[in-house]
Amino acid sequence: MKIFGIFGNPITHSLSPAMQNKALLALGEDACYHAFRVAQEDLGDALLGAAAMGFSGLNLTIPLKEKALELDFLQPDPLAKAIGAVNTVSFGPQGLVGYNTDGWGALLALLNAGVKIRGKNVLIVGAGGAGRAIAYTLAQEGAEIAIANRSLKRAEELAAQVGARGFCLCDLERLAPQADIIINCTSVGMREGDARLLDGRLLQSHQAVFDIVYNRETELLKDARAAGAVAVDGVMMLVYQGAKALQIWTGKKAPVDVMERAVREALATRRAGEG
């Protein structure tokens, strides 16, 4: 049996196991996919342990995507190296290879929601692993990017790499009304009771608002819908980035419809349990 999984911290919220196990079954693979809590400082040992135990592939999530690039035994492919973050790892004769499928997932999620990218002003909030991937990908698609982050230095460093502009979170009130597309690449909204990322009154009907958080409907998305904006949740980004990872691991075309259904069913079950 092939073993796949996801490393992260926290990890209990992840719906990747529900999604990928249904996909592997649909593909006829004798395989399983599990979630493992791994602290940042333990990532190297965890990856080497997974390799020693014969794992076939892994995903990495918060806060491990950038940490992976510091490991000298993991070889990032050119895209992951350019982005500066790894979210998918394959194990093979050539050793551990890192990939980034987050940008691909985000791009498809936006395009399939009818959101045009080229020439649009995109405000990305957050300069972590997902923010890096999305900024790089959308810049390549011809968007004009602004990046706002808690650390201005980090925002400016990422902006310099992708030909964008860097700002601090204190600039959100000014930047949000100017944007055609607003993307939350932080974990804000993942938990009930989180403070709002920005004042919903700043949102406008001509905008598209994309929140990569997928485990619940965030206040940002509720505000976007109230404003008449296009609201895109993180489910399809999760599905498309996972589909790309599955293709890397198995060489097979992933069953996207099966994966989306699995995620939305798991979300509905979780919400019913919380109610």
Q: Residues 124, 185: contact at Cβ < 8 Å?
A: yes
In this predicted structure, what is the pLDDT of residue 275? Answer: 61
What span, in angstroms and rounded, lies between the C-alpha atoms of 101 and 59?
10
Same domain, 107 and 229: yes
C-alpha to C-alpha distance for 197 and 88, rounded to whole angstroms: 28
Residue 273 has what pLDDT? Answer: 74
**What is the secondary structure of 86-97 as a DSSP string?**
--EEEEETTEEE
Whether residues 178 and 257 share a domain: the answer is no
221 and 116: one domain?
A: yes
Query: Does residue 86 surpass a pLDDT of 90?
Result: yes
Q: Are residues 34 and 138 in the same domain?
A: no
CATH of the domain at 125: 3.40.50.720
Catalytic residue chosen out of the listed positions 22, 65, 67, 120: 65
What percentage of the chain carries pLDDT values higher than 70?
100
> CA nearest 196: which of 246, 145, 247, 125?
125
Confidence (pLDDT) at 258? 98
Give 16's DSSP letter: H
- Residue 186 pLDDT more than 70? yes
Look over the chain and give the mean of its residue pLDDT values, rounded to a whole number. 95
Predicted pLDDT of residue 129? 87
| 114, 181: one domain | yes
Whether residue 61 is found in the same domain as residue 130: no
Q: Are residues 107 and 223 in the same domain?
A: yes
What value does the mean pLDDT take over residues 121-144?
95
SS3 at position 254? coil
To the nearest 10°, report the CA torsion of 201, 148, 62, 184.
Answer: 30
Active site residue 65: yes
CATH number of the domain bearing residue 17:
3.40.50.10860
Say whether both 108 and 226 belong to one domain: yes
Q: What is the DSSP string of 105-138?
A: HHHHHHHHTT---TT-EEEEE--SHHHHHHHHHH
- What is the number of structural domains in the chain? 2
Statement: residue 104 has pLDDT above 80: yes
Structural domain containing residue 254: 2-100+239-274
Same domain, 109 and 141: yes
Looking at the fold, whether 13 and 112 belong to one and the same domain comes out as: no
Alpha-carbon distance of 249 to 63, in angstroms, equals 22
pLDDT digits (tens, 9 = 90+) for 15-73: 999 999 999 999 999 999 999 999 999 999 999 999 999 999 999 998 899 999 999 99
**Encoded amino acid at 51, one letter:** A
Note whether 261 and 166 are same-domain residues.
no
In three-state secondary structure terms, 168 is strand
What is the model's pTM? 0.90
* Same-domain pairing of 133 and 218: yes
